[in-house]
Structure 1
């Protein structure tokens, strides 16, 4: 019913007569119902003759139908105008399928409104109720057509009202986004300002923070787009951009504020890891005597896998020291990410060296203990088996074969391991230790299975 600017894709075609009537009397400050009655006031210069009887009665009823249709037309026009604001709000903010469908539905309703409006205007134009010689039959036809036009206008108005009620969730979502827009943009600006100040403070302390400065500079085009506003870039993209800029700026600010602490932490790690590398060099020198004792007292199988430890330790320490030098250079160049990565490599090398060096000493200690008293290892393993057997029999008269079979296998495996210590001049104590450890692991697996099954049964 009302014209919409060309850039709005869902505008309805204008109805020239209705717009002319509305705009004219809007300027005059008169309601539409009065406006539609004005031609009757001016017709004939106020000298129209009035005839009594049935014709005037029908004329009055037709005029009442015309006034009612005019009121229905005005109400429909007002409702469409109000609803167009809601649809435009949704269209500006929401690009979801539901929102696009709502815009399309409003366009369809607009076309329907144009149709019934044209029929209403045609009915008004077709009947001059101010004619002196208006016949009763013509007044009846006018009343019928105008009443039909009013009914159509009211019917479309009800459709429009139902459509408006269905827009509630979409409109609420759109209004929420609009309410979030200004605060989100302001948060982004404040976050950028805070990041800039934190970066300036870091630079004043003598730290360059070039990577942080580059990341902050990369946000400058985004700030320009935020300043251009949602009118140019859309509400949803602007809101998303504002939230992203705020997050990234906050990250830069936090990293800038932590940079002095990070530099101090890297300095501490450089000293600590260098000290550890030196200590490992000393410890690695003790591996050779340990290997010599292992070779002298135990079979080859007990120490063969440790033969390469001295060379491995020396190589790892050499690499660690080279990486430490690189890390120091990165720290001096304030390449913080590179320094951190290099220190992590140094730590991994020293951890591997520590494990290898410790393995030789631990091997000798364990072999000494089992050679002196193998019974302790045997009893430890038997206890684990008996404990699992008791658990398997709890609440049962016979064990579940799935539990009993691996436990029986564990008993047999332990017996074979014990037997391997007897009758030989140089028993393979390392094989014995690895077998008992494997038996305990197998038993632990059975225990875990039993507890899992019973836990499920309890539920």
Structure 2
């Protein structure tokens, strides 16, 4: 709205900015008239109205029309003032929304407000033209002119009121967007402060770690990388936007908190790495001793059992020795990384050592377990046979529970398991039975029956036991 409020004869009215510079003079004259009229009422005597320099009076009807026109002017001024105030208030609300929200709804609100602004400018122009067109204080104001002025000013006032109503409805519709924007603005200062405090906490934690002789160079580099982000936070949302500043503050807080947590845990991590170095070194030494016992086991396997029972174990001694050698090499590298305080490298190397030793442990254990199982089945093959047959019969009973004939999906794999077991038993005949083949087949048959049992129970909702 381009006009600013002025001072009419009876109550404030806005003085238009494009009224050719007469607004201030009008306001001054109106004020003087209010002061001087009582004096004139005392000094003027009847009959003096026709004298020179005095105001001409045209009778009661003209003065009545002048008063009504002035009242219409004052009402229009009041409507103009109310519309101007409402527009200013809503502009603040819209600017609050646009500072925070770039959603389609927010952009639409800005567009609608601009359209309303054009309606307000048009209504204001009509009001200003009506004010400029009529000098209601003229001595020779005619009744017809006063009537015309009252009509134009009333029409201008009505238009201002209608636009004000549209503006009010628009303002009511802004409620959700404005509430969201104000919520984000309320979050802004606390979020920035939390980010600053998190950075300070991370810096203090690093200082404490350095005081214990730990460098934490990687953590220091990560903290230094956040310095430009702190600069942007200090520059404020006015430069970088509210939403972006909020996101930046929350990200800085998260990263600084992570740095602080890692720094506080660093002494514990160093102690843990030291412990793992000692533990894995001891384990490597023990595996070296155990690997040396594989050759006697293999010798016994070769002497007592068919080649198929031990051929896959032939490479265990050499592979175990190589794995232990690699593990000890990685342990020395891990020790060097620990001394250089390259914590991620030390941790990674120790994980490699552990994997090598696990593989070696399994291979060395496999040779001893193989001899133990072969001894057992050679002494009593019937025990393994009965254990496997019991598993099959148990699965068959479950398959028949509540049925007169088994489901083919269950019966077929169980029948195949029976045949497979019988074939495996057949390999025990002859001068050099392949006990290991028998054991692996029996294991496979039991795994098959276990899968059938699990399938049946799942289909029955886990209900039927046996």
User: Do both proteins adopt the same fold according to a TM-score greater than 0.5, normalized to the shorter chain?
Assistant: yes
Question: Structure 1 residue 448 and structure 2 residue 454: aligned?
Answer: yes
Cα pair distance change 1:41/1:255, threshold 3 Å: closer
- Tell me the CA shift for residue 76 of structure 1: 1.2
Residue 119 of structure 1 corresponds to which residue in structure 2? 126
Residue 110 of structure 1 corresponds to which residue in structure 2? 117
Question: Structure 1 residue 321 and structure 2 residue 321: aligned?
Answer: no
- Tell me the CA shift for residue 99 of structure 1: 2.2
> Which of 300, 317, 334 in structure 1 is aligned with 2:341?
334
Q: Does the 8 Å contact 2:400/2:406 carry over to 1?
A: yes
> Which of 325, 328, 350 in structure 1 is aligned with 2:357?
350
Residue 215 of structure 1 corresponds to which residue in structure 2? 222
Deviations 1:51-81 (A, max 9, x none): 4455555444443333332222211111111
Consecutive unaligned residues in structure 2, runs of 5 or more: 17-22, 38-53
Cα pair distance change 1:393/1:133, threshold 3 Å: farther
Residue 441 of structure 2 corresponds to which residue in structure 1? 435
Aligned counterparts of 2:416 and 2:61: Cα–Cα separation in 1: 117
Cα pair distance change 1:287/1:125, threshold 3 Å: same
- Tell me the CA shift for residue 279 of structure 1: 0.4
Q: Does the 8 Å contact 2:76/2:154 carry over to 1?
A: yes
Deviations 1:109-154 (A, max 9, x none): 2122112211222233234444455555544443443333223222
Cα pair distance change 1:52/1:33, threshold 3 Å: farther
> Which of 420, 427, 430 in structure 2 is aligned with 1:413?
420
Aligned counterparts of 1:82 and 1:119: Cα–Cα separation in 2: 22
Deviations 1:8-30 (A, max 9, x none): xxxxxxx2xx13xx2x559xxx7
How big is the alpha-carbon RMSD for the aligned residues of Structure 1 and Structure 2?
2.9
Question: Structure 1 residue 282 and structure 2 residue 289: aligned?
Answer: yes
Aligned counterparts of 1:392 and 1:88: Cα–Cα separation in 2: 74
Count of residue pairs brought into register by the alignment: 437
Deviations 1:194-237 (A, max 9, x none): 22222112112112222122222222222222222222222222
Q: Does the 8 Å contact 2:14/2:80 carry over to 1?
A: no
- Tell me the CA shift for residue 242 of structure 1: 1.8
Cα pair distance change 1:78/1:394, threshold 3 Å: farther
- Tell me the CA shift for residue 269 of structure 1: 0.7
Aligned counterparts of 2:15 and 2:108: Cα–Cα separation in 1: 38
SS in 2 for 1:455: coil
Deviates most, 441-450 or 192-201 = 441-450
- Tell me the CA shift for residue 385 of structure 1: 2.4
TM-score normalized with structure 1 length? 0.87
Deviates most, 121-130 or 311-320 = 121-130
Deviations 1:409-443 (A, max 9, x none): 2222222222332x322222222222222222222
> Which of 93, 97, 101 in structure 2 is aligned with 1:94?
101
Consecutive unaligned residues in structure 1, runs of 5 or more: 2-14
- Tell me the CA shift for residue 265 of structure 1: 1.0
Residue 245 of structure 2 corresponds to which residue in structure 1? 238
> Which of 340, 362, 385 in structure 1 is aligned with 2:369?
362
Q: Does the 8 Å contact 2:13/2:74 carry over to 1?
A: no
Deviates most, 434-443 or 81-90 = 434-443
